[in-house]
Chain A
Amino acid sequence: MELRKTTVRQAADAVWKGEITAHQLIEKTLKNCSVLNEGLNIFTYLAGIDAVEQAKAVDQKIKNGEKPPLAGIPVAVKDDLCYGVLPTGLGSPAFSEFISPVTAAAVERLMEAGAVVIGKTNLDDMGQGSTTLSSPNGPTVNPWLAGRTAGSAGAAAVATGVCMLAVESDSGGALRQGASHCGVAGLRPTTGRVSRHGLNAHCSSFARVGITAFSGEDISEVLDLISGFDERDAATAVCREGISEIIKAPGSKDITIGYPVTAFDYLEPELREIFEQARERFAEGGYRIEEVDLGLLREGLLAYYVIAMAEAFSNHARFDGIRFGKTAEADSLEEMYEQSRAEILGREARRRSIFGAFLLSKDNYGRYYRQALKIWEMVRQEFETVFERCDLLMLPAARSLPRSLEGESGFLEGWSEDLYCAPVSLSGMPALTIPAGQVDQLPVGMQLVGPPFSEKMLLAVGSASGSTGK
């Protein structure tokens, strides 16, 4: 079975029917992964024996007459999500052997459904970035074009066909930009829809757990499984009484797609055309297109970074070398802190922690932090206003094509790539990246953003829109 040409549903069906055992499927996947990993640097850890054991357990369940919905489906897990069996590296050199006492809620739920964790995927320094360029393990290579970044390793794992699903975090857009750069589908869910228990968030306000897959259809297979209230994450309390989904059938005049005309001005010129074509395709597909105003993208990006850095400063304070990770030999407490933390936090993590501490200080709190919180509210309102008139909104996922692995560029240049993703993070609304076209042999994706709990509509529209990267 070639996973690249198979849907999650078909693969699970094949395992149910005994056309292939979960064990066989996983053995083959592991082999493919380890071959691919040499060139692309996708995985920080491969599950090996553990994955085989998981697969055998799935086969046993099927023998017992159970029909696990994701029987034997290989899933990759980003390395900032804890999985108690493999090390949880967090994107820190000091955590390469850290076995977490916690397993992320989303991973737990997928495994209960029969999915098999195949390995942990690469990520930026403490998960901070949308390129993997700051990873202590080196960057993940784009499977479409060597020499370019993949954006996210999970997206690369899916795009190469070694895995069918990837569970990934997304704060400022790592998941959505990765999907865009690798030509796959990636969903960042509504705030509170998916439990973040077990996610080492650098920014708690905006970090979400999402799913990357070949297509919207595959994501639909798992969305319900990972959604819903979890006592361990307060934000999921909005789902305590169930979820009221916004569902509309694709391809009808009932669905109005917002087209933010001025937003595309920030795009690299060669990418603009793709979105004009996408607009036309939607119009031809029977959707109503409405031009809308998104005037706060730039301010939203800046507010995102102020808040994200402030929270990173605080969230990363727990890495003190006392209870987990590594500690430095030191004669004094102060020295122990300074050296242990220098080993744990890499360049990007230090930069954000220090600037976060700067922005939160007594002198700067009102000027920067509080101002960012106000802009957060204004951005949220702006998106709300858009969805009073539209059912969904189309936006680019990235400003440019995936970055080159070579050549240093300024940190602000990298951060500015989040222009289209970070404001969506502020809005709290769900966003699905789907492939929109290609430039220079590289895929370019687009975000479909919807009001809270409109994931099913986004997935339906995304699946029907046709232009998959396959």
Chain B
Amino acid sequence: METSAAGLEKAIKAIKIGLSLPEQDHLHRELEELLGWLEPLLAFNTGETEPLLFGHEAVNVLREDHPQEGRLAELQEAAPNFAGGFYLVPKIMD
């Protein structure tokens, strides 16, 4: 088992948000609180219960394969950085 600090560091990386060190420290304290709060969850005997994956009972909900024109004209309005038909991001060095 990795430490909660190591796990937190990975989690922060995974969500890609820039956080200052004091913020990270604060979150670590909160995480410790959270893990304490969640202890009864771990201690609970769930036996052979199958995990539930879906909150709804729908199955095989399928859409007919009828293509419709795209909606770029409306969508590009919302883009912060759009030019020449493309969404722009800082240059990616491969």
Q: Which residues of A contact B (CB under 8 A)?
A: 98-101, 191-192, 205-206, 231, 234-238, 298-299, 302-303, 305-306, 313, 316-317, 320-327, 330-339, 341-342, 345, 350-351, 353-355, 357-358, 361, 363-364, 367-368, 370-378, 380, 410-412, 426, 428
Contacts and interface: CB of A to CB of B under 8 A. Distances in A.
Given A334-B16, A361-B10, A375-B46, A302 B38 contact: yes
A358 B51 contact: no
A323 B56 contact: no
Interface of B: 1-2, 4, 7-8, 10-12, 14-19, 27, 30-31, 33-34, 37-38, 40-42, 44, 46, 49-59, 61, 63, 71, 74-75, 77-81, 87, 89-90, 92
14 contacts: A98-B78, A101-B78, A191-B57, A237-B61, A238-B58, A322-B87, A323-B87, A330-B90, A331-B90, A338-B16, A354-B17, A355-B11, A361-B14, A376-B51
Contacts of A234: 56, 58, 61
B86 to A, nearest CB: 11
A302 to B, nearest CB: 4
B8 A298 contact: no
A353 B13 CA distance: 11
Given A101-B71, A191-B55, A368 B81 contact: no
Given A299-B41, A372-B41, A332 B81 contact: no
Given A101-B77, A375-B44, 11 more contacts: A205-B55, A313-B14, A338-B16, A339-B18, A354-B11, A355-B34, A358-B10, A367-B42, A373-B52, A373-B53, A378-B49
Contact of B41 (A231, A302, A335, A338): A302
A412 B34 contact: yes
Given A101-B75, A428-B56, A357 B38 contact: no
Given A317-B15, A361-B11, A376-B51, A238 B44 contact: no
Nearest to B57: A238
A411 B41 contact: no
A351 B90 contact: no
Contacts of B50: 374, 377
B81 A206 contact: no
A368 B42 contact: yes
Contact of A354 (B8, B33, B75, B90): B8
Nearest to A299: B44
B56 A191 contact: yes
A3 to B, nearest CB: 35
Contacts of B42: 367-368, 371
B51 A370 contact: yes
B55 A371 contact: no
A336 B80 CA distance: 12
A343 to B, nearest CB: 10
B57 A192 contact: yes
Contacts of B46: 371, 374-375, 378
B77 to A, nearest CB: 7
Contacts of A326: 80
B83 to A, nearest CB: 13
B41 A341 contact: no
A374 B49 contact: yes
A368 B11 contact: no
Contacts of B37: 302, 412
B16 A99 contact: no
